[in-house]
Structure 1
Amino acid sequence: MKNKLKLLILSSIFSLTSCEDFLEKIPLDTVSEASFYQNATDLQAAVNGFYNDLPGWASTSVGFNILPDSNTDMALTENPSNRLSGLSYDIPNSATVSIWSWDEVREANWLIDHLDQAAASSDTEQILIDQYSGEAYFFRAYYYFELLTRYGDLPIFSEYFDNNDTEYVFAARDPRNEVVDFMLSDLDTAIDLLQSFPDISGHPRISREAAQLFKARVALYEGTWEKYHNGTPFGVVGSDGSRFLQIAADAAEAVMNSGVFTLHDDYSSLFNQVGLSGNSEVMLWRDYNSVTLNLSNVLQISWPNRCGYTKFAVDSYLCTDGDPISVSQLYNDGDNESLTTIENNRDPRLAALIMVPGDEVEFRDNVYTYWQYPDFNDTNTGNTGYESQKYRNINYYSDFQGYTEDTSRIIMRYAEVLLIFAEAKAELGTITQTDLNRSINLLRDRVDMPGITLGAITTDLNWPNYGHTLTPIIYEVRRERSVELMAEGFRSDDLNRWRAHTLFDGDQPRGAYYNDGVVNTVSISTPVDSDGFLLPFSNFGNFNFDESRAYLQPLPLDELQLNPNLTQNPGWEN
């Protein structure tokens, strides 16, 4: 029965790598382990379904897309995050598809257990069998990483099991560092099996370089987690994370040394493209086409989708002389108080992030429409006045009766490789000027910003208080990561691995300056602080993060009752 169920799941999932409607189903009355997983085509059909679990835009039937990184200190949506705001965050009574769910791991294990059934009829087919086998190992690590970031310690399930396998059903949680070693082992296997990006036909698929990037991402997460949670209930006894930090640096450097990817020449155009094939920076992505792929999104239809950036995010951007706004001679406080001047003398990535008067909103029938002021319609409390330029595709398509529904979504790009390399080396204390020149300074060169010079870093009077004493280079590496990857879905994990609750706990996120002649064009009821900046969440109070427990989510009560070998996460025991 479990064989039939699994094949039903895998054979009915939409293929992301072709323009065909659906994968072909095998009649269930003829299904057996011997009749499937026999060749490369079978393995491709099985692994394709896992791609649906990668980040993407919601379809038109869902409603709207919020900005990635919403509900953090960098961006807001209409309701504050439970974990940051201190709102109701109770221990769940039972597991669901999004809470302590092992369905995806079990599916990956099922496929991995059957990989050896596939036989190649040629060298070319063997390459494809290896490719899809590598993807299976990649996705098992991917699913484990999602669970790790939520729960920390996890049971290691290396093979498929059912309800009769009591060894697994009643398994205890393994220490998080051992879980990460298991994930890295899977990724090493994937790296050995996967093809290099240029050799893969039918993009987008997981490449060797994508697996190396993900290995670096996982290792950086665990390395910094162990470093900054050391000595707390969330840490790993006897480990400062340095082993994983070195793994992260090495994995990132392997991608750099491959020469396969380079930075796209125009930062601002990266995020509003329809189709990303051929982009030199993008390593993995999802395309949308409502006609040929039957996949569309509502990214532009109801923009700004009840979201906005915070003043803290905007203030993170340097001036064009490379100095922070707290000390730069190019910065005028008045510039920050008006959307008409806020981008003056600032890192060009700020102009690529937010909307200001005169920015293009729509191109229809050869006529441009220009942005005038923020949209505060309905209950749009998440709109801070700093609306998003990032991901905005201005082209109007009459077939869709609105903006394009086909804006692609980047999942992995080469800039993250450079940032991981620099951060890992900085955290290890081994970063050199050469390291900076081949990583972060390339990102700054792209937008004509001055590079970082070790030993000559300007002290920012407003460096963020992460709760730890940091070196100047770590402060600036974190700044670079924040502005380069703004609204790409990394911020929550970054705050957690840095143990950065001091940065936002007790704070009230702020938006744009209200009486600037732009924002106050629209009458709104949102209060302002003593300096005149919007307080979108004033009705909810300040962030109230409980650092004694909120870095990890609680396990469901029924799982603890059903399996006495499981233990609850710190702070959630009572």
Structure 2
Amino acid sequence: MKSLKVKYITLILMGMTFVVSCEKDFLEREPLSAVTPEQYLNDESQLAAYAIERYNMFPTHAQWSFGTFGIDVHTDNMATFGYDNKFVPGQWRVGQSGGSWWFDNIRQCNYFLETVLPKWEAGEITGSPQNIEHYIGEMYFFRAYDYFTRVQLLGDFPIITETFPDDMEVLTEASKRQPRSEVVRFILSDLDMAISLMSSSSPDGGKNRLNKACAQLFKSRVALYEGTWLKYFAGTPFVPNGPGWPGAEMDYNQGYQYQTGSIEAEIQWLFEQSMEASSQVANSYSLESNNGVLQQSIDDPSNPYFDMFSAVDMSGFSEVLLYRRYDGGLSITHNVPVYAQLGNNGVGLTRGLVESFLMENGLPIYASGSGYQGDDYISDVRANRDGRLWLFLKEPEQINVLFNTNAGSHITPVEPVPNITNTNLEQGYSTGYAIRKGLNYDGAQCNNGGGYTGALVFRATEAYLNYIEACYEKNGSLDGTASTYWSAIRNRAGVDSNYQLSISNTQMTIEAQNDWGAYSAGQLIDPTLYNIRRERRCELMAEGLRWMDLKRWRAMDQMISEPYHIEGFKLWGPMQDWYTPSSLTYGTPSARVSSPDLSDYLRPYEKTGNELVFNGYEWTMAHYLEPIAAEHFLITGGPTSVIYQNPGWSTSPNSAPTDL
């Protein structure tokens, strides 16, 4: 399919009828990163500088948040003090303006490629040929990265590869949405270009810039995402040519065919692409070692697996492909180490996530002979469990600081009893369960807003997990490579590597009580696939991929008819004695905790009775994709707009989904 050319439809930003004059000035500007084509992007250093500005597209440890470790909030993995309206059908509405229909990052990438490629082909760029190719490869990667964001949020999307002059007719034509399968094909093509151009290591030899393996890993992620999306949304309006697909109403999408000939063949092809790309990474990068030690004194050996998530310099860890570096001396800092020593800035782990972890013997907690100690105390929850839960689930009286114990202004030297009655983000514990990922034992990291530990962007373990899942989804069984990868992950986690033991003892009706990933399209999946998803959930907890996974698995349909209650630790048991009875108020407008009549477990969103989710999280199909704001239809033709709305949503502003 032809790639479209457009100068990033700022016509999407404002209504055509009243902003033509000011819009014209904006559309005629070059990207802020550029000077002029004649004066800039002529040598290696300029290419490097332009590309480095795009790194802000990656997740980051923001100054006053729990950084990348808090991205999974508002899923079945993590919760905070406030619920998300996307789980209250009717509250999420079509916007008048804004939304995710925007193209700035894509425009910046296209400007670079449009300017640089002719010069490169003509040999007019000075510097190291290898480095020049690498920086061009980075820009192909970043265009793919932003396009994948658009696909996840909006599905079908315009394919745009160059800038266009300020011509409203041309821009409107170019804004036509292409079927998501074509957009993903375009993304994979860009990633193939990135893979072919980027070096195995970045030009500076470190892990703060992209390399070939990053593109291979990301390719495996994209292909797995789309393969599972097409599989589980087949027969719905959410896939090209599905019944009710809104793209079919447009003349320009008439007669669309998948490039492989059918949706079934396209799914298989995507899984093959994911397997190939992920194996290239997994076969080249070993897993970091886990010695099973939770360091609690300066005499204890450090644990590389633990330290990997909170080190200042992450370049020495074998599975780290890319991380964001911070610098205390330059005041490029964040507050993650402070929050990791307390309540994670109000982000708590859910009961569902905690209970999904196996025992160290490989059995689910409910299986006969598992050795599960129960959940009356957090120490019981951690006992004999999967080493990842034992390592990363915080417990009162654990030591948080081992070095420079007097250096920081906001040090919490010993882990306190979870402060569940304080709703202050910086001090409160939303669920009672808090995570240790991101904790650094150096007190010097705990000056308020002065932390400078790194932020992981890509690590090779995801490639292992992607291969396992893609292999099973494609073949219905695991090959030797997938089995080897899975055993390696479990061995590193401190769990019996016999995954068949876990599978044979899995009861899906029990798992479904606390794991949305037990479902696809409202139906329980088989125990093998579930345990593959379980492995992914446990290994990647608090790393920002849970919502992506839940969407592509179509894992929320069951909440259309059966609300889900987000829960934390077992408050109404012996742990209630940690608190004064007067502080555990419930059933009033000023309640601090949920009532024991609702559950023995703390329900962070069901305290006062006034919460819109007091009766549980609910779902509607439209919420799998975002609505496109009303102004974008007005700009591109109004009633005859060349773009179309996503399934279940109206083009009218402030309207709720129509599939309620």
- Asked if 1:537 is matched to 2:605, the reply is yes
Instruction: Provide the rounded CA distance (Å) in 2 between the counterparts of 1:181 and 1:111.
Output: 21
- Find the residue that maps to 1:158 and give its secondary structure: strand
How far off its partner does 1:469 sit? Answer: 4.4
Mapping 1:84-483, distance limit 5 Å: 84-86=87-89, 88-95=91-98, 99-116=100-117, 117-118=119-120, 125-164=128-167, 166-170=169-173, 171-197=175-201, 200-237=204-241, 238-240=262-264, 241-257=267-283, 259-265=284-290, 266-292=304-330, 294-302=331-339, 303=342, 304-332=344-372, 335-363=374-402, 365=404, 369-376=413-420, 377-379=422-424, 383-397=430-444, 401-402=447-448, 405-429=451-475, 431-432=477-478, 434-454=480-500, 457-461=503-507, 462-464=510-512, 465-466=518-519, 467-483=522-538
Q: Which amino acid aligns with 1:76?
A: A
Structure 1 residues 319, 403: closer, same or farther in 2, change over 3 A? Answer: farther
Structure 1 residues 163, 526: closer, same or farther in 2, change over 3 A? Answer: farther
Give deviations 1:182-227, integer Å, cap 9, x for gaps. Answer: 0100000110000002765353111111001000000000000000
Instruction: Provide the rounded CA distance (Å) in 2 between the counterparts of 1:572 and 1:40.
Output: 47
Instruction: Provide the rounded CA distance (Å) in 1 between the counterparts of 2:642 and 2:404.
Output: 65
Structure 2 residue aligned with 1:527 = 594
Instruction: Provide the rounded CA distance (Å) in 2 between the counterparts of 1:532 and 1:127.
Output: 61
| Kept in 2: contact 1:300–1:403 (CA 8 A) | no
Instruction: Provide the rounded CA distance (Å) in 2 between the counterparts of 1:404 and 1:445.
Output: 36
Which stretch shows the higher mean deviation, 273-282 or 229-238?
229-238
| Kept in 2: contact 1:359–1:370 (CA 8 A) | yes
Which stretch shows the higher mean deviation, 312-321 or 496-505?
496-505
Structure 1 residues 227, 416: closer, same or farther in 2, change over 3 A? Answer: same
Instruction: Provide the rounded CA distance (Å) in 1 between the counterparts of 2:79 and 2:328.
Output: 29
Instruction: Provide the rounded CA distance (Å) in 2 between the counterparts of 1:456 and 1:391.
Output: 29
Q: Which amino acid aligns with 1:291?
A: G
Which stretch shows the higher mean deviation, 126-135 or 153-162?
153-162
- Find the residue that maps to 2:322 and give its secondary structure: strand
Percent of aligned pairs sharing the same letter? 29
Instruction: Provide the rounded CA distance (Å) in 2 between the counterparts of 1:231 and 1:474.
Output: 21
Structure 1 residue aligned with 2:33 = 10
**CA RMSD for the aligned pairs?**
2.6
Instruction: Provide the rounded CA distance (Å) in 2 between the counterparts of 1:63 and 1:124.
Output: 40
The alignment's TM-score, normalised by the length of structure 1, stands at 0.89
Instruction: Provide the rounded CA distance (Å) in 1 between the counterparts of 2:199 and 2:273.
Output: 21
Q: Which amino acid aligns with 1:255?
A: V
Which stretch shows the higher mean deviation, 374-383 or 49-58?
374-383
Instruction: Provide the rounded CA distance (Å) in 2 between the counterparts of 1:410 and 1:470.
Output: 31
Unaligned runs of 5+ in 1: 12-30
Q: Which amino acid aligns with 1:551?
A: Y
Mapping 1:495-514, distance limit 5 Å: 495-502=550-557, 506-514=563-571
How far off its partner does 1:347 sit? Answer: 0.3
- Find the residue that maps to 2:128 and give its secondary structure: helix
Instruction: Provide the rounded CA distance (Å) in 2 between the counterparts of 1:167 and 1:317.
Output: 54
Instruction: Provide the rounded CA distance (Å) in 2 between the counterparts of 1:254 and 1:77.
Output: 38
Instruction: Provide the rounded CA distance (Å) in 2 between the counterparts of 1:421 and 1:34.
Output: 45
Instruction: Provide the rounded CA distance (Å) in 1 between the counterparts of 2:627 and 2:157.
Output: 12
Instruction: Provide the rounded CA distance (Å) in 1 between the counterparts of 2:41 and 2:449.
Output: 42
Give deviations 1:161-201, integer Å, cap 9, x for gaps. Answer: 34326334332110000000001000001100000027653
The alignment's TM-score, normalised by the length of structure 2, stands at 0.78
Unaligned runs of 5+ in 2: 1-24, 242-261, 291-303, 407-411, 513-517, 585-591, 651-657
How far off its partner does 1:366 sit? Answer: 5.1
| Kept in 2: contact 1:422–1:436 (CA 8 A) | yes
- Find the residue that maps to 2:359 and give its secondary structure: coil
Give deviations 1:66-96, integer Å, cap 9, x for gaps. Answer: 6120011110012112223446211010125
Residues matched between the structures, number: 546
Instruction: Provide the rounded CA distance (Å) in 2 between the counterparts of 1:571 and 1:382.
Output: 36
| Kept in 2: contact 1:433–1:454 (CA 8 A) | no
- Find the residue that maps to 1:210 and give its secondary structure: helix
- Find the residue that maps to 2:323 and give its secondary structure: strand
Structure 1 residue aligned with 2:643 = 566
Structure 1 residues 82, 197: closer, same or farther in 2, change over 3 A? Answer: farther
Structure 1 residues 541, 379: closer, same or farther in 2, change over 3 A? Answer: farther
Structure 1 residues 456, 394: closer, same or farther in 2, change over 3 A? Answer: closer
How far off its partner does 1:264 sit? Answer: 4.1
Instruction: Provide the rounded CA distance (Å) in 2 between the counterparts of 1:213 and 1:79.
Output: 34
How far off its partner does 1:415 sit? Answer: 0.5
Structure 1 residues 320, 499: closer, same or farther in 2, change over 3 A? Answer: same
- Find the residue that maps to 1:108 and give its secondary structure: helix
Structure 2 residue aligned with 1:485 = 540
- Find the residue that maps to 2:401 and give its secondary structure: strand
How far off its partner does 1:364 sit? Answer: 5.7
Instruction: Provide the rounded CA distance (Å) in 1 between the counterparts of 2:66 and 2:490.
Output: 33
